C-alpha cells in the first residue's frame, strides 16, 4: 500500500527516451500521439539472406549525445541509448548534482535494466579472435558487454554513490526497474533514482534465432504495417531497439526543490507463469495475478485504472493471452478500459520496452492523450477489448497500468497515477 508520507512517495520528475520514432522524449511523444511507425528495412547490416529483413531501428542517432566520442567508441550501443536518455531525464528533472554533498550522493541510486546488454561485443570479439588473432580483441569488450555498465556509467557521470543495479528479465526487465525504485524509496534508502531500460539487440544472429522460433513478423513488404497488436492478421513482432530513462524521487525531495511532477509511481508486482521458456501460460493466470497484485499494491480498486499500456507484442499467442489476463484481472471493467500497445509503433524493444511503455502511460496522465494501437484493421474475436485503434484519443487519465511480460514466464506490472499532494 502506498505511503502518505511525502518522504516515502515516489514521483516521476524527469523523462528521457531514445526510440525508433524519436531520439528524445518530446519527439518520441509527439510521434506516438500521431501514430507514427518506426518500422523500415534493416540498415544495420546486409539482411538479404534472412527471412526477416525489417526492423524498428533508432535512426540518425549520435552516441556523442550522451558521452564523449572516445568512450562511445569503446562502449556498446545499449549504453549509448541509456546515457543519452539518462542525461535528458536529468535535465528534464532540473537536477544539478554539482553541489551535492557526499551524503546526498549516497542517497541517489541508478537502476537501468536490460535484456541482453552488449551482445555485439561477444560476436565481434569472437570474429576478431578467429580472423585477426587474440591480441586484436578490444580490452574494453568485457565492460562493454556487461549489462550493468549502462547503470554504472550513469552513476559515474553524476558521481552518485547509492545503489547501482541491473536486473535481466527479458522483456519484463524495465518494468521491474519501477518496482525496485519504488521499494527503495518506500524503505527510505534513497531520495532519487535514475531508472529505466535500454536495449540494442538488432544483430543478425538474433533475427535468425527469433525468425526460426516464429516470433517475428515476416511482412517484409510493409515494415510500417508489420506490427499489428491485437489485429487478427498479426504474424509476429517487429524487432526494435531503444529505451527510456526517468528520474524517480521522493515527493518530499521533488516538492522541496520546486520540481515539476509528471506522475506518481504507486504500485508494482511480479509473478511467474512457471510454464514455458518462451510461450505464455494459455489462461493468462500469472499475468492476471501480477495485474491484481499491482493495483492492490497501489491501493486502487480495479475500476480506478483508466488505461492499460499493454505488452501487446503482435504475436498470436501473447495478444490473446494478455486479453484473457486483463479480463480476469478487471472483470467487467476490462471492457471500459483503454488498452493500447506502443509496440505497434516502436516495435519490441525487449529490455527497453517497459520503460518506453511507461513513458506512454505518463504522457496520458500529463496531457490527457492516449496513444493509439496503429495497424489495427481486422478485429480478432479473441481480442475483444478497446485497443484505441489507429488514432490517439483525448481522455482524462488518472491511473495507468503498464504491463511487461518476458520469456520464461516473467510477469511485471507497474501502476502510475496523477499526483495529488
Per-domain residue ranges of the chain: 10-256, 267-417
Q: What is the CA radius of gyration of the chain?
A: 20
Q: What is the pLDDT of residue 226?
A: 98
| pLDDT tens column, 36-70 | 999 999 999 999 999 999 999 999 999 999 999 99
φ and ψ at 272, to 5 degrees?
Answer: -125, 140
171 is catalytic: yes
Q: What is the pLDDT of residue 410?
A: 97
Equal CATH topology for 10-256 and 267-417? yes
Best CA proximity match to 18, nearest among 27, 9, 6: 27
Q: What is the pLDDT of residue 80?
A: 98
276 is catalytic: no
φ and ψ at 297, to 5 degrees?
Answer: -60, -35
Q: What is the pLDDT of residue 353?
A: 98
How far is the C-alpha of 244 from the C-alpha of 82, rounded, in Å?
A: 7
Residue 274 is placed in which grid cell? 512457471
- Domain 267-417: give its CATH superfamily: Thiolase/Chalcone synthase (3.40.47.10)
| pLDDT tens column, 336-380 | 999 999 999 999 999 999 999 999 999 999 999 999 999 999 999
Of 25, 80, 171, 253, which is the active-site residue? 171
CATH of 10-256, one of 3.40.47.10, 3.30.70.870, 3.40.50.150, 3.40.50.11860: 3.40.47.10
Enter the pTM of the model. 0.97
152 is catalytic: no
Q: What is the pLDDT of residue 5?
A: 78
Q: What is the pLDDT of residue 2?
A: 57
Let me know: does 145 contact 76? Beta carbons within 8 Å: yes
Q: What is the pLDDT of residue 421?
A: 87
Best CA proximity match to 400, nearest among 388, 416, 387: 416
How far is the C-alpha of 222 from the C-alpha of 212, rounded, in Å?
A: 20
Q: What is the pLDDT of residue 6?
A: 72
Three-state SS string over the chain comes to CCCCCCCCCEEEEEEEEEECCECCHHHHHHHHHHCCCCCEECCCCCCCCCCCCEEECCCCCCHHHCCCHHHHHHCCHHHHHHHHHHHHHHHHHCCCHHHCCHHHHCCEEEEEECCCCCHHHHHHHHHHHHHCCHHHCCCCHHHHHCCCHHHHHHHHHHCCCCCEECCCCHHHHHHHHHHHHHHHHHCCCCCEEEEEEEECCCCHHHHHHHHHHCCECCCCCCHHHCCCCCECCCCCECEECEEEEEEEEEHHHHHHCCCCCCEEEEEEEEEECCCCCCCCCCCCHHHHHHHHHHHHHCCCCHHHCCEEECCCCCCHHHHHHHHHHHHHHHHHHHHHCEEECCHHHHCECHHHHHHHHHHHHHHHHHHCEECCECCCCCEECCECCECCECCCEECCCCEEEEEEEECCCEEEEEEEECCCC
How far is the C-alpha of 255 from the C-alpha of 16, rounded, in Å?
A: 21
Best CA proximity match to 414, nearest among 300, 315, 291, 316: 291
First to last CA, the chain: 17
Residue 310 is placed in which grid cell? 499493454
Q: Which residue's C-alpha cell is 531520495?
A: 191
Q: What is the pLDDT of residue 7?
A: 80
Q: What is the pLDDT of residue 3?
A: 57
Q: What is the pLDDT of residue 64?
A: 94
The number of residues making up the chain comes to 421
The ranges of the chain with pLDDT < 50 are none
Amino acid at each position: 500500500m502506498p505511503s502518505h508520507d511525502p518522504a516515502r512517495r515516489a514521483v516521476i520528475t524527469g523523462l528521457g527516451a531514445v526510440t525508433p520514432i524519436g531520439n528524445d522524449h518530446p519527439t518520441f511523444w509527439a510521434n506516438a500521439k500521431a501514430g507514427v511507425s518506426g518500422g523500415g528495412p534493416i540498415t544495420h547490416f546486409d539482411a538479404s539472406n534472412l527471412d526477416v529483413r525489417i526492423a524498428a531501428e533508432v535512426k540518425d542517432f549520435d552516441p556523442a549525445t550522451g558521452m564523449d566520442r572516445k568512450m562511445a567508441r569503446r562502449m556498446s550501443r545499449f549504453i549509448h541509448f541509456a546515457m543519452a536518455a539518462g542525461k535528458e531525464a536529468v535535465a528534464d528533472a532540473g537536477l544539478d548534482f554539482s553541489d551535492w554533498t557526499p551524503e546526498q550522493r549516497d542517497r541517489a541510486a541508478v537502476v537501468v535494466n536490460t535484456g541482453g546488454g552488449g551482445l555485439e561485443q561477444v560476436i565481434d570479439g569472437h570474429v576478431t579472435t578467429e580472423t585477426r588473432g587474440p591480441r586484436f580483441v578490444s580490452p574494453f569488450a568485457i565492460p562493454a558487454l556487461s549489462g550493468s555498465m549502462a547503470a554504472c556509467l550513469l552513476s559515474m557521470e553524476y558521481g552518485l554513490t547509492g545503489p547501482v543495479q541491473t536486473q535481466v528479465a527479458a522483456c519484463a526487465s524495465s518494468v521491474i526497474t519501477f518496482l525496485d525504485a519504488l521499494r527503495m524509496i518506500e524503505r527510505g534508502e534513497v531520495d532519487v533514482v535514475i531508472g529505466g531500460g535500454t536495449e540494442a539487440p538488432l544483430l543478425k544472429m538474433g533475427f535468425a534465432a527469433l525468425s526460426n522460433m516464429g516470433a517475428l513478423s515476416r511482412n517484409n513488404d510493409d515494415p510500417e504495417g508489420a506490427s499489428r497488436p491485437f489485429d487478427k492478421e498479426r504474424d509476429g513482432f517487429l524487432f526494435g531497439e531503444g529505451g527510456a530513462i526517468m528520474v524517480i524521487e521522493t515527493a518530499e525531495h521533488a516538492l522541496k526543490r520546486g520540481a515539476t511532477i509528471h506522475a506518481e509511481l504507486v504500485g508494482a508486482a511480479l509473478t511467474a507463469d512457471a510454464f514455458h521458456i518462451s510461450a505464455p501460460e494459455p489462461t493468462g493466470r500469472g499475468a492476471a495475478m501480477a495485474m491484481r497484485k499491482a493495483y492492490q499494491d497501489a491501493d486502487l480498486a480495479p475500476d480506478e485504472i483508466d488505461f492499460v499500456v499493454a505488452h501487446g507484442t503482435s504475436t498470436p499467442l501473447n495478444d490473446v493471452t494478455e486479453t484473457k489476463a486483463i479480463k480476469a484481472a478487471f472483470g467487467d471493467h476490462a471492457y471500459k478500459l483503454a488498452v493500447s500497445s506502443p509496440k505497434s509503433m516502436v516495435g519490441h524493444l525487449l529490455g527497453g520496452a517497459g520503460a518506453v511503455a511507461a513513458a506512454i502511460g505518463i504522457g496520458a496522465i500529463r496531457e490527457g492523450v492516449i496513444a493509439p494501437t496503429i495497424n489495427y484493421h481486422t478485429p480478432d474475436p479473441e481480442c475483444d477489448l478497446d485497443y484505441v485503434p489507429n488514432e490517439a484519443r483525448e481522455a482524462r487519465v488518472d491511473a495507468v497500468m503498464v504491463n511487461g511480460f518476458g520469456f520464461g514466464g516473467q510477469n511485471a506490472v507497474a501502476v502510475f497515477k496523477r499526483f495529488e499532494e
